[in-house]
Structure 1
């Protein structure tokens, strides 16, 4: 079996309208576990990659197939015979440039043998929760693109780059709306006394990491009550209690509004208080 070196990625723009900077690819996890999959399917482990290196703008690796595995042996033979010649990386984008068309920092998790790459690089991007596929076989690609265009209500023959621009605009609008909502919730929490001005930057950072969770926390927090609200709540909480043995201090502490609204009660309690203290 001959050694087969594959270009896993370079910096050319793929058919989905973005490119990946080779210098920005973090290889640390991949070097520790350089698995080779077939078509990015974790159930199809067909070998490993060796001699992983960056040469200029290219990320290159040598394929070592597991010939003891039925699928691995089959794919190995197709590579040997020249029927399969393309590879594709699975990576997590960490940073984009300002135009959001260049992945400047990323982390690679695996590399796969594929039938048809996208513009020389079949790239599958990993999100924290979901897998965002940006390269498929030709039929899958057309089907996927048509579904996207239908959702975006764009003509069937719309240029993929135009569709990406529309998607970016939608995402930017959603981000702006979320930022507006987050700012409003934080300001309301500040006014209500739920957080202090010193705590505001911390919650702004929390919104960036977990928007929905932070909103829920702020909405569930109890603000500081003013004195009148505290007194009102105290009186409401003590309605219906047996107060036959209450003294002046008890009413002052637990039912001050009742003292205010019942002068006769107040005078009686004051008289009892003075009598008791004079006797002592």
Structure 2
């Protein structure tokens, strides 16, 4: 078995409190375009998946990294050194039922598989020489009771802030480059990384600041 084989899903109850039935995952379309993303982010293709197979309740695949890109090379190194060991599936839910009191996805379509730091399924790990459209994502969903209060909390504003003040703050933020963008632009200016991979590096800096910092200082 390849040292870069991952259990990408099984029938363990995940952090969403649901089970995804392996035999109900349709992989036909995915096999035609077996894209490997990083942290479920679009435009961060870091490789492809091969030898996708079902072994009982487990869905297993072999990771092949695109080390012609800086992000792909970085993710590959972290996987092979054991710093990244988890995978996570993105699926379109076709049918779900309650089975034995547990929300169970009985039919789904596999759309992508990502390398992630913390998987929704705690068993979706690298195998160390051992063997309506709804999507499952890395983030744990939570209900927001008040968008106004949530924005005040996120922006660290006074509780008496008006809607107009909130909008002005958001507009200012939208017009300014974020910290990750500034760090990437500085690294490009200093000749540490190539401008051709600017978007991938910005994504890396946003999702894994320590990884980006380690990369440019190595």
TM-score relative to the length of structure 1 = 0.45
Q: How does 1:255-274 map to 2 (within 5 A)?
A: none
Q: Which residue of 1 aligns with 2:55?
A: 55
Task: Give the number of equivalent residue pairs.
Answer: 137
Q: Distance in 2 between matches of 1:150 and 1:121?
A: 32
Q: In the alignment, what sits opposite 1:94?
A: 94
Does the CA-based 8 Å contact 1:16-1:134 persist in structure 2?
no
Match of 1:27 in 2: 27
Equivalence map 1:185-200=2 (5 Å): none
Q: Which runs of 4+ in 1 moved over 6 A?
A: none
Deviation at 1:118, TM superposition (A): 1.9
- Which whole-Å CA distance do the structure 2 matches of 1:58 and 1:29 have between them? 19
- Is 1:135 aligned with 2:138? yes
Task: Tell me by how many angstroms 1:42 deviates.
Answer: 1.5
Shift of 1:119: 3.8
In structure 1, runs of 5+ residues without a counterpart are 152-280
Counterparts in 2 of 1:58 and 1:32: CA distance versus 1, 3 Å:
same
Residue aligning to 2:176: none
Structure 2: distance between partners of 1:80 and 1:22: 27
118, 141, 150: which is aligned to 2:120? 118
Distance 2:20 2:56 in 1: 13
Instruction: Report which structure shows greater RCO (CA 8 Å, sep ≥6).
Output: 2
Give secondary structure in 2 for the equivalent of 1:101. strand
Bigger Rg, structure 1 or 2: 1
Unpaired segments of 5 or more residues in structure 2? 125-131, 147-218
Which structure shows the bigger proportion of residues in helix conformation?
A: 1
Q: Please list the CA deviations of residues 52-92 of structure 1 after superposition, one character each: whole Å capped at 9, or x if unmatched.
A: 00001000000000000110000000001100000001110
